[in-house]
Amino acid sequence: MLATLRNRLHENFVRWALRVRPPEPAPIVLNQRRVYVLPTPAGIAYTSALGVILLGAMNYNLSLGHALVFLLAGLGIVTILHTFRNLVQLSLSPGRCEPVFAGEQARFDLVVENPRPDARTSLRLFFHDTPPLEIDIGPSATTIASLGLHTEKRGWLPMPRVTIETSWPLGLVRAWSYAAPDLACLVYPLPAAKAPMLPWSGDDAQGTTREGRGVDDFSGLRKHQVADPPRHVAWKAVARQQDGPLLTKLFTGTAAQRLWLDWNHLPDTMGVEQRLSILARWMLDADAAGLAWGLRMPGARREPENGPPHLAAGLRILALYDHGAR
């Protein structure tokens, strides 16, 4: 009950501290009103020690004791100013975030700019309950902070709220601020570890692959890949060798293997996520084999093609199925 109340109060404070409704437009400037300062445990111990020294100096009327207390107190006050200045006026902007598969680590790039002519030292950036990333920024310089976050399911993963803090130079006080950049990572479905063979059919021998593997003229042999059609296996060559690897016949010409990855080819008993995982595995296998492939899904269709842009577009369709676009 107490922990729930504490979390609720913290979230209310964060919403108030952000000043705007997330996500925030770029650039996000940490002005004076957005930077907060509180003593650290070391700072509280430092203040308590000063109080004890002051009481002793007053009790024994020690002039040097008073001078020491005032000197150390002044040092503490100057530390507050430097810790605050180490964070204020920083500018944050969203960078890149490459798509990943579910279960992998998403990397959110945050561009941190220091417009002042003095360096910023020992800045820590982190999401809630993640290890902090410590960076330094030179005078009038820009750096990229790459923050990792574990992914669990497909679709768009918005960048969580970022906390940026510092306790430089003496660790007596902590200055911190919050930011909510407008950045999201596209998470593809996790490819199935085991999937059925690629759905070859009689009318799949059309089109062209990026490696020119046609069916006109025989051009050689190579090691068999899982995505290769069974009819292209060089069975005679395999029979002539003992315990040798499977070999696939290569052809040249204008006609080549092309296949359709069809949602309706999968059993109706399969769930949505299982179908998407199998389609993702088929896409990766077909792309690795250099095959032209097309996609048929409810509400989406891509004509057979190959190459990285085609693969990325197909995986994006799977990732956003029933999720909507962004």
pLDDT of residue 218 exceeding 60: no
pTM: 0.78
Residue 195 lies in a domain: no
Mean pLDDT calculated for residue range 179-204: 83
Local confidence band at 80 (pLDDT 50, 70, 90 cut-offs): very high
Whole-angstrom Cα distance, residue 22 to residue 31? Answer: 17
Q: Check whether residue 20 and residue 128 sit in a common domain.
A: yes
pLDDT of residue 97: 95
**pLDDT exceeding 90 applies to what percent of the chain?**
59
Mean pLDDT calculated for residue range 213-227: 54
Q: Check whether residue 47 and residue 131 sit in a common domain.
A: yes
pLDDT of residue 11 exceeding 80: no
Q: Check whether residue 221 and residue 184 sit in a common domain.
A: no
pLDDT of residue 23: 86
Local confidence band at 203 (pLDDT 50, 70, 90 cut-offs): very low
Total of domains in the chain: 2
Residue 94 lies in a domain: yes
Report the mean per-residue pLDDT for the chain: 85
Per the model's pLDDT, the better-predicted residue between 176 and 24 turns out to be 176
pLDDT digits (tens, 9 = 90+) for 14-72: 777 777 777 888 899 999 999 999 999 999 999 999 999 999 999 888 889 999 999 99
Per the model's pLDDT, the better-predicted residue between 24 and 200 turns out to be 24
Q: Check whether residue 139 and residue 19 sit in a common domain.
A: yes
pLDDT of residue 88: 95
Per the model's pLDDT, the better-predicted residue between 12 and 187 turns out to be 187
Local confidence band at 202 (pLDDT 50, 70, 90 cut-offs): very low
Provide the sign of the torsion angle of the four alpha carbons 14, 19, 25, 28, taken in this order: negative
pLDDT of residue 306 exceeding 90: no
Q: Check whether residue 116 and residue 238 sit in a common domain.
A: no
Mean pLDDT calculated for residue range 74-85: 95
Q: Check whether residue 183 and residue 314 sit in a common domain.
A: no
Q: Check whether residue 180 and residue 96 sit in a common domain.
A: yes
pLDDT of residue 213: 46
Q: Check whether residue 139 and residue 32 sit in a common domain.
A: yes
Q: Check whether residue 143 and residue 224 sit in a common domain.
A: no
pLDDT digits (tens, 9 = 90+) for 152-163: 999 999 999 999
Residue 203 lies in a domain: no
pLDDT of residue 225 exceeding 90: no
Residue 261 lies in a domain: yes
Per the model's pLDDT, the better-predicted residue between 196 and 233 turns out to be 196
Residue 147 lies in a domain: yes
Q: Check whether residue 222 and residue 103 sit in a common domain.
A: no
Residue 24 lies in a domain: yes
Beta bridge partners of 149: 106
pLDDT of residue 45: 96
pLDDT digits (tens, 9 = 90+) for 89-108: 999 999 999 999 999 999 99
- State the residue range of the domain holding 235: 217-319
Q: Which of 8-12, 31-35, 78-82, 110-114 has the lowest mean pLDDT?
A: 8-12
pLDDT of residue 254: 39
pLDDT of residue 141 exceeding 90: yes
Q: Check whether residue 55 and residue 101 sit in a common domain.
A: yes
Residue 265 lies in a domain: yes
pLDDT of residue 27: 92
Q: Check whether residue 129 and residue 231 sit in a common domain.
A: no
pLDDT digits (tens, 9 = 90+) for 281-304: 999 988 888 888 999 999 889 999
pLDDT digits (tens, 9 = 90+) for 243-278: 666 667 655 543 455 689 999 888 888 899 999 999
Residue 299 lies in a domain: yes
